[in-house]
Structure 1
Amino acid sequence: MTVTIALAGDTMLGRGVARQLADFGPRSLFAPELKPVIDQADLFLLNLECCVSARGHRAPLPGKAFFFRAPPSAADALALLGVDAVTLANNHALDYGPQALADTRSLLADAGIEAVGAGPDLARARAPLVLTAGGLRIGLLGIADHPEEYAAGPHTPGTAYADLHNGVPRWLTEAVRDLRQDTDVTLVTAHWGPNMATSPVRHVLRSAPALLDAGATLIVGHSAHVFQGFTRHVLFDLGDFIDDYATDGRLRNDLGLLFLLTLDGASLRRVDAFPLGLRYCHTRPATPREYAWIRHRLTTACASLGTSVTAEDGHLMARWD
């Protein structure tokens, strides 16, 4: 049985994006050319790097520079795009406190979008999500390796925090093993590593094999805000999908990728990566010049990991027979 999963990286719908949403509506955030690509997939998953709420107060974290909160209409904007599920395991889920996190989960659910990686207590933050597509049971686990201050407790809300700097914790390997027994595909979505890193850092490189050994079929990373290379089993970082961030002229965090993964049962057969241009609060297909930069960057990053990427009909592709 074959299933196609669409993946997008860091999706920040607060600040300037929230104003764009309010002034021009949800269709103004994404170019219409993206929808036919997404519609090829059986499931569309992304990292929602903000809370969705009209309530709450900024978390009292000294030294934290950025706090992201999207309006309730953001949930409808994601549904309109075709999002099926999001991970909330990241460093912005609790930016406006437990009330906003609760609103996020509720508003997403009302829009028909599932969420994983954060919850009202430890058990529900760590709880997996199982979706069915193409006749396959696909299990999702969402984790974040920062910040520890946002970690859920036995009776307090927060994220599924995993201190990967000191090795993959036992609870996580056990969770992966348990989920693998009940699903055809087990996907771990990890908010790991530092910002603006063009290649996976040491603790990420150590953690990925341990998660695969525990039974993960695929590992999908995000956090760096720039895309990294991938192997047959690990997409180390998806990069950004939409935001209002300042652009680094060298690292080009204003250029991204929308991924389509084609699986035959539990085996990943193909990755198609569609180049994107991220302008202020708007995401569209890359221009030819942007495409050339993205192609060079992704080809080089993947080659360092032993993956060969080729160009095909305006996008980039890796295939395993």
Structure 2
Amino acid sequence: MTPSRALPAIAVTLALSACTAAASDGTSEPTRKPMADTPSVPVEKTAAAKPYTIAFGGDVHFEGGLRARLDNNPRTAFGPIARVLSRADLAMVNLETAITTGGDRAPGKQYAFRAPVTAFNAIKAAGVDVVTMANNHGMDYMQSGLRDSLAAIRRSKFPVVGIGRNATAAYAPWRTTINGNKVAILGATQVLDAEFINAWTATDAQGGLASAKNEQRMIQAVRNARKGADTVIVYLHWGTELQTCPNPAQRALAPKLVRAGADVIVGGHAHVLLGSGYLGRSYVNYGLGNFLWYGNSPSGVLTLTIKGRKVLKDQWTPASIQGGTPIPLTGAARDQGVTSWKALRSCTGLSAR
């Protein structure tokens, strides 16, 4: 799936004279711009935005048996969950790995993840449109791995947020237009090993990750994304591993980002599912769990229906990770999966509506 699956209708009214205005509706690529206006030929956007859907999956890497799936056929690496992602107008996951086959492994790190550039082929084939790499594995191979990752991103031309050659790039949103809605998406991590905070955080003079530990920089990034956007989405790496309730850092950060202009906040890291719901008029998910990940654990896809700043509907498609890939549940197991997911909201302070 690419943003071109959702082709917004753009109605452009050209005031050709003082007495007549001609309007035309057509289908175009999201990146196509209306005719440039001049003082004598003003251009006015008249098309109304329509609701769109965005699907979120959790943490993705290509370690263990998943590397074999990637090497054998990238197009089928995600298995049947790809059908769920592809049904949405837009889809996003957390890519929790460096994209390098070399690099200098982070000293003393027990788990270090890396994958070849074909990872982007697998992600795209699964119907994913954008990923965040702002997490505690995005720079597992330090600055040398970062250079490889950024080069792979440039070559693949795949949208990635939360990582960059400097802070300006790392905190910048990816922007697209879907069904007339201007959408801005950011990525950042609230989880970094203490010994790597300085080395991994993007600054004006250093490449790295967007860090939500720098709250003021993160808040400003959301404010900047708000300008010119109908919907602002923040994908965070946050939470405490194996803890199904949000920790104090999550509960403190979410309202600050909402006040700054975030309409949707989602995230992962804990390896378990956490609750979702409304914080005022914004929607918050505290943990999407594992997605493409070794081992077996509960998983799923969160699909939101959005129009402008309003989240009209949330839908959970429960899945179970088997052999590294999430398999959607059916029948009674599916019903139980939805019920269990809704119950996770009880300790979040979020509302169902």
TM over 0.5: yes
1:219 aligned onto 2:265: yes
Equivalent residue in structure 2 for 1:31, among 79, 84, 91: 79
Counterpart of 1:206 (choices 245, 252, 261) is 252
Is 1:50 the counterpart of 2:97? The answer is yes
Residues 306, 145 of structure 1: CA spacing in aligned structure 2 closer, same or farther, 3 A cutoff? closer
The letter for the 2-side match of 1:201 is: N
- The range that moved more, 110-119 or 291-300, is 291-300
- The residue aligned with 2:186 is 141
Secondary structure (helix, strand or coil) at the match of 1:182 reads coil
Distance in 1 of aligned mates of 2:164 and 2:350: 37
Report if aligned partners of 2:316, 2:338 keep a CA contact under 8 Å in 1. no
User: Residues 126-137 of structure 1: matches in 2 within 5 Å?
Assistant: 126-137=171-182
Q: CA deviation at 1:279?
A: 1.4
Write the distance in 1 (CA, Å) between the matches of 2:238 and 2:187.
11
Residues 261-312 of structure 1 show CA distances to partners (whole Å, capped at 9, x for unaligned) of 100221001111111111122222125565355334212112444544xxxx
Q: Which moved more, 1:128-137 or 1:294-303?
A: 294-303
Distance in 2 between the 1:131 and 1:16 partners? 34
The question of whether the paired residues in 2 share the 8 Å contact of 1:277 and 1:287 is answered with: no
What is the TM-score normalised by the length of structure 1?
A: 0.85
- Give the match's secondary structure for 1:39: helix
Kindly provide the amino acid, as one letter, of the partner of residue 205 in structure 2.
H
1:80 matched to 2:128? The reply is no
Q: Distance in 2 between matches of 1:259 and 1:266?
A: 18
| 2:105 counterpart SS class | coil
Q: Report the Cα distance in structure 1 between the residues aligned to 2:310 and 2:208, rounded to whole angstroms.
A: 33
Does the 8 Å CA contact 2:244/2:273 hold for their aligned counterparts?
Answer: yes
Matched residue of 1:277: which SS? strand
**CA-CA distance at 1:236 after TM superposition:** 1.0
Which residue of structure 2 lines up, in the alignment, with residue 282 of structure 1? 325
1:123-272 equivalence runs, <5 A? 123-147=168-192, 148=197, 149-163=199-213, 169-232=215-278, 233-245=283-295, 247=296, 254-272=297-315
What is the Cα deviation at residue 84 of structure 1? 0.9
8 Å contact from structure 1 (residues 31, 285) kept in 2? no
Give the superposition deviation at 1:257: 1.1
| 1:293-308 correspondence runs (5 A) | 293-304=336-347, 305=349, 307-308=351-352
Distance 2:322 2:154 in 1: 29
User: What residue number does 1:250 align with?
Assistant: none
1:97, distance to aligned residue in structure 2 (A): 2.2
2:164 equivalent to 1:114: no
After TM superposition, give the deviation of residue 140 of structure 1 in Å.
1.4
Partners of 1:97 and 1:156 in 2: CA distance: 12
Residue 5 in structure 1 maps to residue 54 in structure 2: yes
- Matched residue type, 1:18: R
d(CA) in 2 for partners of 1:150 and 1:16? 28
For 1:289 and 1:108, locate their aligned partners in 2 and report how far apart those are by CA, in whole Å.
41
**Counterpart contact for 2:86–2:128, Cα < 8 Å:** no
Task: Name the CA shift for 1:75/1:5 in 2 (closer, same or farther; >3 Å).
Answer: same
Q: 1:122-166 CA deviation, whole Å, 9 max, x = no partner?
A: 221122221221111111121111212421232222111122xxx
How far does the alpha carbon of each residue in 1:8-66 deviate from its partner, in whole angstroms, 9 at most, with x for none?
111112333113322x322443333x333222211111110011222212112x3x211
Percent of counterpart pairs with the same letter? Answer: 31
Match of 2:149 among 92, 104, 107: 104
Residue 105 of structure 1 deviates from its aligned partner by 3.4
Aligned residue-pair number: 294
In the aligned structure 2, how far is the partner of 1:106 from the partner of 1:44? 23
Q: SS at the partner of 1:93?
A: coil
Checking the alignment, whether the CA contact within 8 Å between 2:211 and 2:218 is kept in structure 1 is no
**SS at the partner of 1:231?**
strand
User: For residue 249 of structure 2, what is the amino acid of its counterpart?
Assistant: H
Flag the structure with larger Rg: 2
- Asked if 1:14 is matched to 2:66, the reply is no
Aligned Cα root-mean-square deviation (Å): 2.0
| Separation (CA, whole Å) in 2 of partners of 1:290 and 1:255 | 11
Counterpart residue identity of residue 114, structure 1: P
Gaps of 5+ in 1: 248-253, 309-319
CA contact (8 A) 2:266 2:284 kept: yes
Whole-Å separation in 1 of the counterparts to 2:53 and 2:249: 29
